[in-house]
Amino acid sequence: MINNETINPKDFTSYLMKTVGLPEAEAEQLSFPLKRMRYEKGSILLKKGERCNHSFFVEKGLLRSFMLDESGKEQVIQFAPENWFIVDRSTVYFSDPSESYIEAIEDSEVVFINEDFMCHAAEVSPIFGRYNDKLLHNHIRQMQKRINLLLGATAEKRYLSFIEMYPDLLLRVPQWMIASYLGITPESLSRVRKELAHKNFKPS
């Protein structure tokens, strides 16, 4: 279910100020007209086959993107906690039908960010333009790193990389979803956690 109540825009405004470095007046001007929605836990924001012209910024809560393989098994692609963006780039930037799903793992408050906003914000603020370029390249870097891990790293190294990427999600995400993200079985994840515990490993 979706609740379309008015949502306080301060979280995205604060993100533009603190993370991007925009002056307060500029951040408020850019963030005010954006569409915001509340989603209950379990809501699907994007389905496979749909076309979508916006990405999502998480002000509160937690989203994930996932695909279904030929057997119908879920394969988690990304998690997006507070102050993260999540998007299916193939549909937003190339108008292809989406290959993935985006779901709310928790009750969430989400800002809709379309390409027009990105272009306008870059024109209004060179600071934002430079930041957006950096954000894109960082996303590509992280995807390349993840591919390398899935192709060649041990389950333990994948898990440690997950903790580095998402240090606050261990208690918020079901273990089977973490295992899916890592490309291992839940049993393998349990074994990795036990082995790390024996090594006195304590995630921060």
At residue 7, does pLDDT exceed 50? no
Beta bridge partners of 38: 3, 109
Q: Which domains does the chain have, with CATH numbers?
A: 2-123 (2.60.120.10)
For residues 177 and 139, what is the distance between their CA atoms, to the nearest angstrom? Answer: 21
* pLDDT tens track for 111-144: 999 878 888 888 888 888 888 888 888 888 988 9
Whether residue 63 contacts residue 79, with contact meaning beta carbons closer than 8 Å, is answered with: yes
* pLDDT tens track for 65-97: 999 988 889 999 999 999 999 999 888 888 899
Whether residue 20 contacts residue 30, with contact meaning beta carbons closer than 8 Å, is answered with: no
Beta bridge partners of 74: 68
Predicted TM-score (pTM) of the model is 0.85
Q: Kindly state the average pLDDT of the residues 46-52.
A: 93
Whether residue 166 contacts residue 84, with contact meaning beta carbons closer than 8 Å, is answered with: no
At residue 196, does pLDDT exceed 60? yes
